[in-house]
Amino acid sequence: MLLGDIQRYPFLRLLVPLVCGIAWGEAMPFAWPWQVWMVGVLLLIGAYRFSTRRGVRSLFGVTAFLLLFGIGGEAASRRCAETDFPFQPEAAIYQVQLETSPEEKPRSLLCRSFVTGVFEADTFRAYSRPFLFLLYFPKDSTASALRSGDKLLVHTRLSPPVNNGNPDEFDYARYLRRNGGSGSAYVPAGRWQVIGHDSLYTFQQQALQYRDRVTALYRRLGFQGDELAVLASLTVGARQEMSDEIVETYSVTGATHVLSISGLHVGFLYALIAFLLTPLWKRWRWLKPVLLLGTVILLWGFAFLTGLSSPVVRAVSMCMLWAFAFVQPDRPLALNTLAATAFFMLLWQPMWLFDVGFQLSFVAVASIVLLQPKLYCLWPVKNRFLRAVWGVMTVSIAAQIGTAPLVMYYFSRFSTHFLLTNLWAVPMSSLVLYAAVVLLLLTPFPVVQLFFASWVEKLVYAQNEVLRWIEKFPFASIDHIWLDLWGVLSIYVCIWLVYKAMCRFCPRRFFLALFVLLLAAGYHWLVGLQNLPQRSIEFYNVRQCPVVHCVESDGRSWLVCADSLKDVSPVQRSLAPYWNRLQLKEPTLVRGVYEDGDLFAHNQLFYFGNRSVCLLTDDRWRGMTSACPLPIDYLYVSRGYRGDLRSLSSLFTIRRVVIDASLSPYYRERLIRECITGGISYVSLADRGAYRVAL
């Protein structure tokens, strides 16, 4: 059944082996010499001739599958190899060129930069190709003045991307590699110098500059706060102004797709342009190809204004193929057009396969193409207005069905009021987008533009306020959902089987879909049993946020932290997938004096499960002595303590030292040497990652 469906769509048959090859090549990179590819092409030609003569059709298909699999694997492997950088053990002087202007972060300024060469002694050695690095500068006026295209000499130590080693954490190293990054570095003040500027901007840099100009225009017109952030994100994809509160509002209500420029916004513009041009090509049919070409050019112009972000490029590419399909008398199947778009885009940039936006956008469009007509026919509506509302609802339901498994897998959340949200957000966002187009066209008339900007601001304000109102509804979202990859795949198999049953009613198909659903539910239940929490003490490797996590077997837990630590959100963000997998309840934050069951905490000393832990984050114990040293199972040393372990010997009898990653490399090595000399067991979180003690 599945094979027959795939054979109906030629590009889907080509896409499947390419995707499998990319996934394989990224996981296990390989490189084949050109001789192997020549043999593969000859085998493909021979298989085609042999299958035509002998009637063995499957031989050519198998050979083509293997060849496309190899092409995908080779392309992904080469992309991974491009990030391999010859790192040096010590700091050196590098020549870099800034790709982007500084982007403000909580504690630094981030610049995407290309490393073009290194000074070895007095000799400059240029690299054969530039390597992309993320350079962090301190927040000061000098670094803020840097601009895209600046050439710098920096004295720093470039480091490869590494993960913290916490359970179920986001694989940052793999993410950076997939996006072409080789590593990162921090450049202190006084360790860099501007040596020139490259005025020949790349196409991407020019696009980003125009995007910044549009955002600056919004600012001059009086937009500020959440209204500026939403308008800039909705029209040109600039999300630097977004606050955590407005991002959470759109996430809870299920309207995040409105903020991320993708197929929805490109579809709005395509519909507007098509609406304006349809009377022309209906009257003069010979103009149709020319007008469609002009439509595509306008859409690529919009993509240029958004900085040529990958979601917009994907959406415009899809609309381009769709527009050209109208020229043909026999319109191709929409799913085949979608598969063709994905095929050519992955040939160009294979690492887009692992981009969450890429997956969500194509799955959403495929779900709308396949499911929306079936859902729309379930309720024949005669009223024109209700028919339009029902159409929007079915589109929303179809997209939600397709994207829900991926959203739950990546974001552990399901928005329950998505229908109400989309009935408001989709029409409003289209209205805001059209108004923004008019606003930009009024640039030659500043007085009229300023007056019209006030009405656009009111539209954005109304959109945000209604979504905040929906956010306050009971059970607005279901959070802390945990799914693994096999669970996601099983859900999609169920969706596909239900779709086939809707195409042609057959009780056997419904029973098969129900059986697969029961298997998926049973698998999820068994995995949940294997991941039940156990009583333990856990030390996490989260920089600048030292906490100790005490976990009970019933799902209760406590985060014990220093009195001076005010924000534990970095730990909560980093460990949320792990806590969701263990089905833990919201951890209780413990500071100062606390007592609950087996947990007793006082003066940064606490006891849990017959184990004693001391958090050493300051010098409160300096100069103190005791006639009877207190036994300590785990001494957790983190940033803030400036003494040595010898000075604590009269206070504590230490069984094991846990060294936090927030300490400087020099101080960590010093503590390790002390532990080795004193015969004390130690654990370095910077080297090991998270450390768990089962009780």
pLDDT at 619 over 90: no
pLDDT at 6 over 60: no
pLDDT at 266 over 80: no
How many Å apart are CA 253 and CA 463, to the nearest integer? 12
* pLDDT tens digits, 100-118: 888 888 788 888 899 999 8
How many Å apart are CA 368 and CA 362, to the nearest integer? 10
Percent of the chain at pLDDT above 90?
7
pLDDT at 5 over 60: no
How many Å apart are CA 258 and CA 281, to the nearest integer? 31
For residue 262, what pLDDT band results from cuts at 50, 70 and 90? low
pLDDT at 597 over 90: no
* pLDDT tens digits, 484-512: 888 888 888 888 888 877 777 777 777 78
Contacts of 465 (CB under 8 A, 6+ apart): none
Q: What is the mean pLDDT of residues 258-270?
A: 68
pLDDT of residue 264: 63
How many Å apart are CA 316 and CA 320, to the nearest integer? 6
For residue 658, what pLDDT band results from cuts at 50, 70 and 90? very high
Q: Six-digit token pair at 562?
A: 């220093």
* pLDDT tens digits, 507-532: 777 778 788 888 888 888 888 888 88
Q: Report the amino acid identity of residue 114.
A: F
Q: Where would I find the H helices in 479-568?
A: 485-503, 507-530
140-154, 251-265, 574-588, 605-619: lowest mean pLDDT where? 251-265
* pLDDT tens digits, 293-343: 777 787 777 777 776 666 677 777 777 766 666 555 444 457 777 888 888
Cα torsion through 420, 421, 427, 428, rounded to 10: 130
* Strands 150-156 and 192-197, bridge-based pairing: antiparallel
pLDDT of residue 653: 86
Phi, psi angles (nearest 5°) of residue 526: -65, -40
How many Å apart are CA 315 and CA 320, to the nearest integer? 9
pLDDT of residue 323: 65
pLDDT at 379 over 90: no
Phi, psi angles (nearest 5°) of residue 460: -65, -40
pLDDT at 177 over 80: yes
pLDDT at 269 over 80: no
Region label for 610, one of left (φ > 0), alpha (ψ between -120 and 50) or beta (otherwise) = left
Which of 304, 435, 416, 322 has the alpha carbon at shortest distance from 369? Answer: 322
pLDDT of residue 257: 73
Percent of the chain at pLDDT above 70?
87
pLDDT at 253 over 50: yes
On average, the pLDDT of the chain sits at 81
Give domain limits for the chain: 2-81, 92-200, 208-345+412-477, 485-530, 536-694
44-48, 131-135, 200-204, 303-307: lowest mean pLDDT where? 44-48
Q: What is the DSSP letter of 550?
A: E
* pLDDT tens digits, 526-564: 888 888 889 999 999 987 788 899 999 888 899 988 877
pLDDT at 659 over 80: yes
Core vs surface per residue 639-652: b (16+ CB within 10 A) or e: bbbeeebeebeebb
pLDDT at 349 over 90: no
Q: How many CB atoms lie within 10 A of CB 614?
A: 23
If one compares 187 and 233, the residue with the highest pLDDT of the two is: 187
pLDDT of residue 133: 92
Q: What is the mean pLDDT of residues 551-578?
A: 86
Phi, psi angles (nearest 5°) of residue 343: -60, -50
pLDDT of residue 420: 81
Q: Which residue has the tokens 């859900």?
A: 491
Q: How many CB atoms lie within 10 A of CB 671?
A: 21
pLDDT of residue 539: 93
Q: What is the DSSP letter of 533?
A: -
How many Å apart are CA 96 and CA 194, to the nearest integer? 10
If one compares 32 and 149, the residue with the highest pLDDT of the two is: 149
For residue 1, what pLDDT band results from cuts at 50, 70 and 90? very low
For residue 137, what pLDDT band results from cuts at 50, 70 and 90? very high
pLDDT of residue 58: 67
pLDDT of residue 246: 82
The H-or-E segment that residue 462 falls in is helix 446-471
Q: How many CB atoms lie within 10 A of CB 526?
A: 10
If one compares 281 and 533, the residue with the highest pLDDT of the two is: 533
Spacing of C-alpha 370 from chain mean position: 26
Instruction: Write out 163-197 in H/E/C secondary structure.
Output: CCCCCCCCCHHHHHHHCCEEEEEECCCCCEEEEEE
Q: Are 22 and 73 in contact (CB under 8 A)?
A: yes
For residue 155, what pLDDT band results from cuts at 50, 70 and 90? very high
Q: What is the mean pLDDT of residues 248-268?
A: 73
pLDDT at 473 over 60: yes
For residue 203, what pLDDT band results from cuts at 50, 70 and 90? low
For residue 34, what pLDDT band results from cuts at 50, 70 and 90? low
Signed CA dihedral, 501, 502, 505, 510: sign only: positive
For residue 2, what pLDDT band results from cuts at 50, 70 and 90? very low
Which of 646, 640, 542 has the alpha carbon at shortest distance from 657? Answer: 646
DSSP helix/strand/coil, 556:
coil
Specify the CATH number for 92-200; select among 3.40.50.2000, 3.40.50.150, 2.40.50.140, 1.10.1370.40.
Answer: 2.40.50.140
Instruction: Write out 274-332 in H/E/C secondary structure.
Output: HHHHHHHHHHCHHHHHHHHHHHHHHHHHHHHHCCCCHHHHHHHHHHHHHHHHCCCCCCC
pLDDT of residue 567: 79
pTM here?
Answer: 0.83
Q: What is the mean pLDDT of residues 618-622?
A: 80
For residue 691, what pLDDT band results from cuts at 50, 70 and 90? very high
Contacts of 83 (CB under 8 A, 6+ apart): 131, 132, 177, 180, 181, 182
